[in-house]
Amino acid sequence: MILKTYARMFSTDCNATLVALERLHGRQAHLRFRFGEWDLAGIGDMFVVAGTEESLAPIRDSHGPVIVHDLQAIEAELLASGATITQPIVNVPTGRMLYARHADGLHIEYVEWNDELVERF
């Protein structure tokens, strides 16, 4: 069910963060887009979420994104295991996502990529 996992990194300056990460990876970011108040970028297995401290505050305790094949099936599994959905499924530039707080307290973003991204990666 899980296709890819990223380590989320928070930043107040996406461009500055990417300069270092692109040098370390030896390549450019494979994903780059804006969503709401955030600039987002994926490089390797790292995912940069950049914005103001205020805009990042609601998700600072979260992990991910975890890319999944079927978001509705993941939601059902999460609920069955005692998780709480903190952000119901919504459409995002890359497909659909939700946030869930697992029974142990972990707060994780799950994303189902659109077909174009699944084929690309």
Which pLDDT belongs to residue 116? 93
Q: Write down the pTM of the prediction.
A: 0.91
Residue whose structure tokens are 């390549």? 27
Per-residue exposure over 61-75, b if at least 16 CB sit within 10 Å of its own CB, e if not: ebebbbbbeebeebb
Domain count, the chain: 1
CATH number at residue 23: 3.10.180.10
Radius of gyration of the chain (CA): 14
- Please list, in sequence order, all residues whose beta carbon lies within 8 angstroms of the beta carbon of residue 55, skipping any fewer than 6 positions away: 36, 37, 38
pLDDT (tens digit per residue) in 67-98: 999 999 999 999 999 999 999 999 999 999 99
Tokens coding 52: 């103001």
